[in-house]
Structure 1
């Protein structure tokens, strides 16, 4: 009798729950980023107010217009959605990583702190998060080709976040993004589109890897993924 069966079944249930939350929050974050793009286009269409951009320099700011105020609100909601998404995605990655280790009988190649540190460590954040996902795939589906959604996810994420426009979201204020929308809106929208695409690819990736993991534990535990049709009785 395989003594790992109860452990694998428990891990499969946990991964399935984590996957559902990760997919939902990825969709929400993608929608929030798309809303930012819509508001940026609205700002560009309205044009720079007669009073000029919000940031006057030297720490001075003029009162915001109603449209600029609404962009601040949309941006804040987007930031909250991204934080929630990051927490859900990392929880899924940790659990499917543990499950992959249990299935393969080998410890993960990278220690668990890298699941978090890999996103913020310079240079390493250019390849390590993808490497963690690739290692999971190799453990749960040995010999199978890496799903294309993994490369789409990582390529779009890097393109959107490491472009000059993408970096502006991390290093600049919301007012500086508003000013950029008045002058270079299509660069902003292009970066937004890549981030939205990365969120969609990530949702597909989460489902693909979770399904592959569940197929390895079918004899032990066959959870019904939330997107599967209900069982007809």
Structure 2
């Protein structure tokens, strides 16, 4: 918003402040993306342990799916749904609704943000940022949900008795 205010009223907003805010935003988003991709890799590995035959796709798509334009509108949703379904095979439909709510907020943020930047519309940019915040809250909730579901499933696997005839260490 500071950068936008500078473009609208360049004499009232110091450039150094907007540049610093923009730099902090880029650093925070880069750190969040790296942490999220690390979490996603680990959660996919856990999902494969919980449901060994789960079709989660190739691990390359776990990163590339976020980076390839247009493809990044549907692959991330599928990755998270696949991880969620493999983590809780008899899962709650509300969990899938949570993935869909996050995806709608995230995709709408991108589309409205592009429209707002191309038309320099402040209401569109504000709407885009509101959707970005909503997507951030929803992804945090989703991360917590998948992590707790996987924690319970992995705990159950650890405490399950070994099948008959299986050698023990």
Q: TM range, normalised to the smaller chain?
A: 0.7 to 0.9
Alpha-carbon distance, 1:161 to partner: 1.1
Partner of 2:26: 79
**Partner residue in 2 for 1:189:** 126
- Give the Cα separation in 2 of the matches to 1:85 and 1:112: 20
Residues 149 and 205, structure 1, Cα contact 8 Å, conserved in 2: yes
- Cα deviation for residue 188 of structure 1 reads 1.2
Q: 1:49 to 1:137 in 2, by over 3 A?
A: closer
Tell me which of the two structures has the higher relative contact order, counting C-alpha pairs closer than 8 angstroms and 6 or more residues apart. Answer: 1
105-114 vs 151-160, greater mean Cα deviation:
105-114
CA–CA distance in structure 2, aligned partners of residues 112 and 166 of structure 1 = 32
Aligned to 2:110: 161
Cα separation, partners in 2 of 1:198 and 1:88, compared to 1, 3 Å: same
Question: Residue in 1 aligned with 2:163?
Answer: none
Distance across 2 between alignment mates of 1:80 and 1:110: 30
Deviation at residue 163 of structure 1 after TM alignment: 2.4
| 2:159 paired with 1:210 | no
**1:132-151 to 2 correspondences below 5 Å:** 132-144=79-91, 145-147=93-95, 148-151=97-100
Question: Runs of 5+ in structure 1 lacking a partner?
Answer: 1-36, 51-64, 222-233
Between the two proteins, the alignment pairs up a number of residues equal to 156
Q: CA deviation at 1:102?
A: 1.1
CA positional deviation for 1:66: 4.7
Q: Secondary structure at the match of 1:142?
A: coil
In the TM superposition, residue 90 of structure 1 has moved relative to its aligned partner by: 0.6
Residues 123 and 48 of structure 1, relative CA distance in 2, 3 Å threshold:
closer
Query: TM-score normalised to the size of structure 2?
Result: 0.80
Query: Does structure 1 retain, via aligned residues, the 8 Å contact 2:116–2:125?
Result: no
Which residue of structure 2 aligns with residue 120 of structure 1?
67
SS of equivalent residue, structure 2 residue 68: coil
- Aligned with 1:217: secondary structure? helix
Alignment partner, residue 30 of structure 1: none
The 1:167/1:212 distance shift into structure 2, 3 A limit, reads farther
Unaligned runs of 5+ in 2: 160-169
Tell me, in whole angstroms, the C-alpha distance in 2 between the residues paired with 1:153 and 1:142: 21
- In the superposition, relative to structure 1, how do residues 74 and 166 fare at CA in structure 2: closer, same or farther (>3 Å)? farther
CA RMSD of aligned residues (A): 2.7
**1:47, CA displacement in angstroms?**
5.1
